[in-house]
Structure 1
Amino acid sequence: MKTRRPTRVAALVTAVLAAAFVAAPVAVAEATRHYTGTLPSGASWVADVPGEWNGTVILYSHGFGPLEPRNAPDSETGQALLDGGYALVGSSYSGPSWWALESAVRDQFASLDALTGEIGAPRRTIAWGTSMGGLVSALEAEDGRHRVVGALTTCGLVAGALNLDNYQLDGEYALSRLLAPGQGIKLVRYTGPEEAAAAGAALTKVTADAQATPAGRARIALAAALMNVPTWFTGATPPGPRDYATQETHQEAALTAFVLNFTMSGRYQIELAAGGNSSFTAGVDYRALLRGSSHTQQVRALYRQAGLDLDADLATLTRDANITADPGAIRTLARTSTPTGRLQVPELNLHTVADQLVPVEQENWYGHVVAAAGRGHLLRQAYVQGTGHCAFQPAETIAGLHALEKRVATGRWDDATTPERLNAAAGTGRYLWYQPPALTGGLGEPGRR
Structure 2
Amino acid sequence: MPRPRFSTLSAACATALATALLGPATGAHATAATHYSGTLTDGATWVADKPEEWNGTLLLFSHGFGPTTAADAPSTAARQALLDAGYALVGSSYDPNGSMWALESAERDQFAALTAFRRRVGTPSRVISVGQSMGGLVNAQIARDGAGRVDGALGLCGLVAGGVDLDNYQLDAEYTLATFFDPTDADALVNLDNQTDAAALADRLTKAVEAAQQTPPGRARIALAAAYLNLSDWAPGQQPPAHGDFAGQEQQQYAWLAQGLLGFIVPARWSVEQSAGGNTSWNKGVDYAGLLRKSAHAKQVAALYRDAGLDLRNDLNRLTRGAHITANPAAVAHLKRTSTAGQSLAVPLLDIHTTADQLVPVEQESAFAGRLRVAGDSALLRQAYVARQNHCNFTTAEVVAGLHAVEHRLETRHWDDAATATELQYSAEELGLDGAAFADYRPSRLTGPR
Unaligned stretches of 5+ residues in structure 2: 1-28, 430-434
Query: In the TM superposition, what is the alpha-carbon distance from 1:260 to its structure 2 partner?
Result: 0.7
Matched, 1:173 2:175: yes
Aligned letter for 2:419? T
2:449 aligns with one of 421, 442, 448 = 442
Query: In the TM superposition, what is the alpha-carbon distance from 1:182 to its structure 2 partner?
Result: 4.0
Matched, 1:397 2:372: no
Match of 1:341 in 2: 343
- Cα pair 1:146 1:344 within 8 Å, conserved: no
SS in structure 2 of the partner of residue 334 of structure 1 = helix
Aligned letter for 1:257? Q
C-alpha offsets along residues 180-236 of structure 1, whole Å, 9 cap, x if unaligned? 224556200011111111111111111111111111110000000011011011235
Matched, 1:76 2:77: yes
Query: In the TM superposition, what is the alpha-carbon distance from 1:29 to its structure 2 partner?
Result: 11
Match of 1:34 in 2: 35
SS in structure 2 of the partner of residue 142 of structure 1 = helix
Aligned letter for 2:92? S
Query: In the TM superposition, what is the alpha-carbon distance from 1:420 to its structure 2 partner?
Result: 1.1
Match of 1:15 in 2: none
- Cα pair 1:146 1:345 within 8 Å, conserved: no
Deviates more, 1:75-84 or 1:220-229: 75-84
Match of 2:113 in 1: 111
- Whole-angstrom CA distance in 2 between matches of 1:90 and 1:140: 13
Deviates more, 1:339-348 or 1:396-405: 339-348
Aligned letter for 2:223? A
SS in structure 2 of the partner of residue 77 of structure 1 = helix
Deviates more, 1:46-55 or 1:233-242: 233-242
Unaligned stretches of 5+ residues in structure 1: 1-27, 444-449
Pairwise mapping of residues 248-287 of structure 1 onto structure 2 (< 5 A)? Answer: 248-287=250-289
Pairwise mapping of residues 151-190 of structure 1 onto structure 2 (< 5 A)? Answer: 151-184=153-186, 186-190=188-192
Greater RCO (Cα-Cα under 8 Å, separation 6 or more)? 2
Match of 1:50 in 2: 51
- Cα pair 1:76 1:394 within 8 Å, conserved: no
Aligned letter for 2:414? R
SS in structure 2 of the partner of residue 141 of structure 1 = helix
Matched, 1:430 2:437: yes
Match of 2:142 in 1: 140
SS in structure 2 of the partner of residue 88 of structure 1 = strand
Query: In the TM superposition, what is the alpha-carbon distance from 1:77 to its structure 2 partner?
Result: 2.6
Query: In the TM superposition, what is the alpha-carbon distance from 1:341 to its structure 2 partner?
Result: 2.9
- Cα pair 1:185 1:199 within 8 Å, conserved: no
Deviates more, 1:204-213 or 1:426-435: 426-435
* Larger of the two Rg values belongs to structure: 1
Aligned letter for 1:36? S
SS in structure 2 of the partner of residue 127 of structure 1 = strand
- Whole-angstrom CA distance in 2 between matches of 1:430 and 1:42: 41
- Whole-angstrom CA distance in 2 between matches of 1:421 and 1:176: 45
- Cα pair 1:185 1:202 within 8 Å, conserved: no
- Cα pair 1:60 1:90 within 8 Å, conserved: yes
- Whole-angstrom CA distance in 2 between matches of 1:323 and 1:39: 39
- Give the length in aligned residue pairs: 416
C-alpha offsets along residues 114-156 of structure 1, whole Å, 9 cap, x if unaligned? 1111222111110000000000010001115421101111000
- Cα pair 2:281 2:327 within 8 Å, conserved: yes
Match of 1:3 in 2: none
C-alpha offsets along residues 290-342 of structure 1, whole Å, 9 cap, x if unaligned? 00000111111111111100110000000000100110011101110011431
C-alpha offsets along residues 89-136 of structure 1, whole Å, 9 cap, x if unaligned? 111110521001100011111111111112221111100000000000
Would the alpha carbon gap of residues 370 and 184 (structure 1) be closer, same or farther in structure 2, given more than 3 Å must change? closer
- Whole-angstrom CA distance in 1 between matches of 2:45 and 2:72: 11
Deviates more, 1:333-342 or 1:83-92: 333-342
- Cα pair 2:31 2:84 within 8 Å, conserved: no
- Whole-angstrom CA distance in 2 between matches of 1:382 and 1:412: 16
Aligned letter for 2:46? W
C-alpha offsets along residues 21-58 of structure 1, whole Å, 9 cap, x if unaligned? xxxxxxx9983101111111111111110000011110
